[in-house]
Amino acid sequence: MSSHMLLALLGRPDSVQPDTVERKLLLRFSPREFGVGLSSGRRLRCFRFPGRWMAGSELDRLREDVRAVALARLGTVPEYGVFLPGRAPWCNRVVTCLYDRDGRAIAFSTVMAYALPVDGRVHQVFQLGLVVSDGRSRQSTIGSVYFWPLAYILALRGFRQYWVASATMIPNIVGIFADAFVDVFPHYRRRRRPSPAVLAIARLLVSRHGAEFAAGPESRFDEETFAVSDGYIAAAAPLHKTWDQVAKHADPRCNELCRRVLDYQRGDDLLQIGRVNLGLLLRRTIGGVEKRR
């Protein structure tokens, strides 16, 4: 799988400049790292499980970049996830940072990887973690740090589809997830029962790995709505938002779903599960061409 093929399939989200990539070697692709130069001099870097291989000084710099973005956006750094000390939180995560032309980190995302037994087979499931922009950058920065790491993971898997999950109380993220991936449950535009595989994955994520997405000992998983209760306590408290504070989705049906099934005072998340496949990249490529016309 070549880096040129990855660029071709992705199209040019956020105006990737292939000529600049060729001339200044701004494209890097390996099983450990993916980097690409974007428009306006920005650079995106994805690191796969950096806690397993990255030198201490380099990991410290990456840690400081992530902390700086969180501090600019949240006003504090929660003692949670990648903000915890040591290498362990960095050993099962794909960490992505978006840098401005001056090298300042302006957004980051994390994706956790889990091996879960479902129907007699072990499936690799990727859980979307924090997606944070420093608040001074335009909304498209979120799209970059949200989709590029998923495309990178897909390329590393030889374009074999994989399961992806997200737990959030933000209606806009709920809608983006539902619109972007396939076989998504729950979905604000479709009411149906979850498949046995989706339900099994959800149960395992909450019971085995809930602490990594703010599900505490008091949390309860509703198998009808996929709401996870009491998620923003202790270290995750700074991430708790009220209904008035969360970013709404353009489709009111998505906002209504969140209001109906989530208790914002209690601190609920909506757990969604879907699949990432090659069609995702093709839709983004075709969609980008249509928008540019």
pLDDT in tens, 84-97: 999 999 999 999 99
Give the range of the structural domain holding residue 172, as residue numbers without chain letter. Answer: 162-276
Instruction: Give the closest residue to 53 by CA, choosing from 37, 69, 36, 30.
Output: 30
Clarify whether residues 49 and 33 are in a common domain. yes
Q: What is the DSSP letter of 274?
A: E
Whether 283 is in a domain gets the answer: no
Q: In the block, which residue shows the tokens 């879960």?
A: 116
Percent of the chain residues past pLDDT 70, beyond the cut: 85
Tokens of 283: 């839709």
Pairing between β-strand 121-133 and β-strand 162-168 as defined by DSSP bridges: parallel
Whether 227 is in a domain gets the answer: yes
Clarify whether residues 190 and 226 are in a common domain. yes
Number of domains in the chain: 2
Clarify whether residues 94 and 220 are in a common domain. no
Among left, alpha and beta (phi > 0; psi -120 to 50; other), residue 183 is left
Clarify whether residues 70 and 212 are in a common domain. no
Clarify whether residues 209 and 191 are in a common domain. yes
Clarify whether residues 77 and 134 are in a common domain. yes
Clarify whether residues 68 and 212 are in a common domain. no
Whether 25 is in a domain gets the answer: yes
Least confident residue range of 164-173, 201-210, 225-234: 225-234
Query: Which pTM was predicted?
Result: 0.85
Q: What is the DSSP letter of 21?
A: H
Residues forming beta bridges with residue 276, ordered by sequence position: 162
Residue 287 has pLDDT above 80, yes or no: no
Residue 8 has pLDDT above 80, yes or no: no
Whether 285 is in a domain gets the answer: no
Q: Which residue has the higher pLDDT, 7 or 277?
A: 277
